[in-house]
Amino acid sequence: MSVALMWEARAVDGRGAELLDWARAQALEGKHSSPEPVRQEFFRAPQDRVLVITWWDAGYDAELPELPEPGAELIARAVHRWRFEAL
């Protein structure tokens, strides 16, 4: 079974690039953990938003590592998280 974890955050105005760099650095640290994602992609959107999607070879309810919440000085609101399973 395949599961996708989606992590989306909105940076404080003008700090979108910094939030993207932060998310990428977190992902690099996670590459040494077990299990490892099958695939990971980074996206950005207007309003300084960053989206990270990781794909896992795991069941929907599996305990999987997720990106943490960035520091409050970097984000404009709480992180949104979603979990989807492939059909």
Phi-psi group of 47: left, alpha or beta (phi > 0 → left; psi -120 to 50 → alpha; rest → beta)? left
Q: Output helix, strand, coil percentages for the chain, rounded to the nearest 5.
A: 15, 40, 45
User: Which residue(s) pair with 53 in the sheet?
Assistant: 6, 41
Global pTM?
0.89
Topology of the domain comprising 2-60+73-85: Alpha-Beta Plaits (3.30.70)
Give the mean pLDDT per block of 10 residues along the chain (87 residues).
Answer: 96 98 80 78 97 96 93 97 96
Q: What are the residue ranges spanned by the domains of the chain?
A: 2-60+73-85
